[in-house]
């Protein structure tokens, strides 16, 4: 079974923000690598929605590892997967 993956508005915003940060720090090549990695992870999540660890007690939100500095939070719905947001792992987790 393969589920479609959709980005929320917040996911689009945080994705672009992190991509711009990467480009300004390390250049276009690293930004493209980040984008490629996100694409790979969304493909994996679409095929195996429960592959990543649950991020909360109710297990409805999961945390996918993109890079040591970035994670993707998503929710599995019956008919699709919704990417909620991307998180810079160097940020304070109290704001999650």
CATH number of residue 22's parent domain: 3.30.2310.20
Q: For 22-79, list the strands marked E by DSSP.
A: 61-67, 70-76
Alpha carbon dihedral 14, 15, 16, 21, in 10-degree steps, equals 90
Give a yes or no: residue 28 inside a domain: yes
Give a yes or no: residue 95 inside a domain: no
> What is the domain range of residue 67?
4-89
Predicted confidence at residue 82, as pLDDT, reads 97
Give a yes or no: residue 96 inside a domain: no
Over the stretch 22-76, which tens digit does the pLDDT of each residue have? Answer: 999 999 999 999 999 999 999 999 999 999 999 888 788 999 999 888 999 999 9
As a whole number, mean pLDDT of residues 7-20 equals 96
Predicted confidence at residue 94, as pLDDT, reads 47
pTM listed for this prediction: 0.89
Cβ neighbourhood burial of 3 (10 Å; 0-12, 13-18, 19+): middle
Give a yes or no: residue 40 inside a domain: yes
- Beta carbons of 81 and 75 less than 8 angstroms apart: yes
If one counts the domains in the chain, the total is 1
Give a yes or no: residue 94 inside a domain: no
């Amino acid at each position: 079974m393969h589920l479609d993956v959709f980005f929320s508005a917040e996911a689009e915003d945080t994705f672009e923000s992190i991509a711009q940060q990467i480009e300004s720090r390390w250049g276009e090549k690293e930004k493209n690598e980040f984008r490629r990695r996100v694409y790979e992870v969304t493909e994996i999540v679409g095929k195996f929605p429960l592959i990543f660890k649950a991020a909360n007690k109710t297990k409805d939100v999961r945390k996918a590892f993109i890079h040591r500095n970035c994670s993707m939070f998503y929710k599995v719905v019956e008919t699709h997967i919704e990417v909620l947001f991307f998180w810079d792992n160097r940020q304070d987790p109290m704001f999650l």
